Structure 1
């Protein structure tokens, strides 16, 4: 496989949206179902036994080594979680064993990506009724990334709107070649740009910015409510 060329990508204030329920420090749902403190301790033991981020931090995750994770920087758990909790089916440039830090250059692009995937989930149950709160995390990035933003069709297979087969194969080859990540045009928003960073240490200055609410009220069209300050 011929790999795409690399280019220095230096971008401040990239945007990633994560469901607020995963915010570090939020009360665990386990606390709501425990009968007493002893029961809660047992539930936390069970939770820890199945927590892939904790497995990785103890070098027990086959997808990523503990030495690759970051520690002692703001929101390091948020960074590590992106790599340790991959989608079971994988994503565009990551497989089911190792995740990546996906982010967009524009907030509107990050919204479009999230809205698309959530709408697909609602379509599967044929019920467009939901409200989900997301935290926007901004991060800075400076790295030589493989660039798929060519103006021709040479990378069309990796940007297919309905299949990740070729893009995941590319990602596997890139990881074997010690790639730091890819920069690519958004498939869900024309003119938008996205990055998939393959190494936690490259995700810099992560900070929480806005909170957004996405609402579906009977149709596939989502309404976006943006809170400039966290509630």
Structure 2
């Protein structure tokens, strides 16, 4: 359930920014950064206790419970808002590293539901609010997996390719309207949960993903890129930002050891 009153930007605010998947990682970092940029931030995710902690420590952030796989939950989010300046579709995730021959259809279904249909639900529901006022900006937090493939990543790359297609199609369909569409495609980002979830709670395996990698990206790096995109002048649309650590050339090619 959502709670609170609709976010009303202060006179100095840039407007309302909605960030999904804001309870941890890139979403939480983005909520903090956009609040610092002057947005009235609606931090939305399923884990309300984490959102409440974020809202209690970051001025300008309001917590809203959201499950992007639920039409009713998305409708409650929309009912709590007026016009929206920015929507950051960050909710998503990966599950499993099995090859196609061994993959579970339920894992693929979950990834498609969260990454693609969740993004679709929230974007569709908020488009009227994004069109209101001076116009809005839709940011899709995709992945380099939306542009490349690798062994053991079939389900995730399929979902992220679909999310990329969604972003590119939406930009075409909104041409001539005051709504910008940006895809941010990170490579290796060391967050507390992404690999842990993908590897089904195996902390040792999750730690090994980043083992020996000198300075993988962190959530604040992606928040910084999102901030750059959404604070450009209204006539400037940044279509795609691909962001990788210097140690990574591709999903399957990562330098492990000192750089230089």
Q: Which has the higher helix share?
A: 2
**One fold, TM greater than 0.5?**
no
- Pick the TM interval, shorter chain: under 0.3
Higher strand content, 1 or 2: 1
Q: TM-score, normalised by structure 2?
A: 0.22
Of structures 1 and 2, the one with the larger relative CO (CA 8 A, separation 6+) is 1
**Normalized against structure 1, the TM-score is what?**
0.24
